[in-house]
Amino acid sequence: MSDILDLEASILREIDAAADEAALETVRVAALGKQGSLSALLKTLGSLPPEDRKSYGAAVNETRDRVTSALSTRKSVLKAAALEARLKRETVDITLSGRTDPLTAGRIHPVSQVIDEITAIFADMGFSVAEGPDIETDHYNFTSLNFPADHPAREMHDTFFFNPKEDGSRLLLRTHTSPVQVRTMEAQKPPIRIIAPGRTYRCDSDATHTPMFHQVEGLVIDRTSHFGHLKWILEEFLKAFFEVDEVKTRFRPSFFPFTEPSMEVDVGCKRSGGEIRIGEGDDWLEILGCGMVHPNVIRAVGLDPDEFQGFAWGMGIDRIAMLKYGMPDLRAFFDADVRWLNHYGFRPLDLPSLFGGLSS
């Protein structure tokens, strides 16, 4: 019998010495597991003389009960200690200032904001958004828009050309969003009402020009749309965009190969103390180009100009963003300076809508 008590004493010592729950589990398995030391003792029962079996069996069972209860006591002690240690390790310093979450810290670039504003205004008038590639062919950027071959207007645009291909043709970075007019007329049937905001490129750089800039094109093609509609649309747009009740506009005759007649539009403004107020005043600010789509452009997309007509316009997005939000230097738009973005940027979830006020 003393072998049982010796074994029990040694197991109880090991239980006391177990430093964590994993070590305790090892002790448990070594004692009570299938191959454990106590289980081994029980297996010897069969070889004992019958008169000894009962008392030996009872002794082993008592030992097993004491070991089991010692295990569970030690287990709760170790568990409590582990929790205590973890709480110490994971203390939170509630006096630290909170970390700003991305929605608060992030900013929407003014160009993205203004594109969203423009889209909201024209969507309200029934326009959808069309797109075209930044890398264009000479055909879409110039020829289909009625630029004659070798016409100086091609050079006027300060085009970035790619190296010529073997057949002599050259791809280019689109100099305006007008190619999207042609692509749209080729892809869908009138009536067409689209705007096409996007990136455009010209070799130019100063406080109001960057080699990459943004334009938005507008196009309406059907059987009856005329210049009066164009004027109304543009004035409604300008009022909504600049968030004013009235705007004065001035349509000046101009020239674009793809429109006839062509106009440049000035908006009335007042300049005082380095500030420009749009809509009022006796000054004028040039804001966009427009016109009735040239019959040659309509013909080039396979429509009959005696049947279909319409108008188009093109406007610099960065420029109207600068005017609306008072940003003096266009180059800063693309410097990726986070201080500039913090100052002029917009909150991610403040989506512009006509209902909520575009820039509220």
- Pairing type for strands 128-129 and 192-201 reads parallel
Residue number with CB closer to ligand DAH (113 or 259): 259
What is d(CA 218, CA 118) in angstroms, rounded to the nearest whole number? 11
Rounded to a whole number of angstroms, the minimum distance from the CB of residue 279 to ligand DAH is 22
What is d(CA 239, CA 124) in angstroms, rounded to the nearest whole number? 14
For residues 254-280, b (16+ Cβ closer than 10 Å) or e, as one string? eebbbbeebbbbbbbbeeeeeeeebbe
Rounded to a whole number of angstroms, the minimum distance from the CB of residue 205 to ligand DAH is 17
Residue number with CB closer to ligand DAH (63 or 215): 215
Rounded to a whole number of angstroms, the minimum distance from the CB of residue 264 to ligand DAH is 8
Binding region for ligand DAH (CB under 6 A)? 176, 178, 217, 256, 259, 289-291, 312-314
Residue number with CB closer to ligand DAH (130 or 312): 312
Rounded to a whole number of angstroms, the minimum distance from the CB of residue 204 to ligand DAH is 12
Sign of the alpha-carbon torsion through 79, 84, 85, 87: positive
What is d(CA 65, CA 161) in angstroms, rounded to the nearest whole number? 90
Q: Where are the beta strands (DSSP E) in 18-155?
A: 128-129, 135-137
What is d(CA 220, CA 194) in angstroms, rounded to the nearest whole number? 7
Residues in CB range of 119: below 8 A, 6 or more apart: 129, 195, 197
Residue number with CB closer to ligand DAH (63 or 200): 200
Residue number with CB closer to ligand DAH (80 or 187): 187
Residue number with CB closer to ligand DAH (147 or 346): 147
Q: 3 is written with which tokens?
A: 């072998």
Residue number with CB closer to ligand DAH (256 or 333): 256
Rounded to a whole number of angstroms, the minimum distance from the CB of residue 253 to ligand DAH is 12
Nearest-CB residue to ligand DAH? 314
Beta bridge partners of 220: 193, 311
Rounded to a whole number of angstroms, the minimum distance from the CB of residue 290 to ligand DAH is 5
Beta bridge partners of 137: 171
Rounded to a whole number of angstroms, the minimum distance from the CB of residue 179 to ligand DAH is 9
Q: Where are the beta strands (DSSP E) in the chain?
A: 128-129, 135-137, 171-173, 192-201, 212-222, 249-256, 259-272, 275-278, 283-293, 309-316
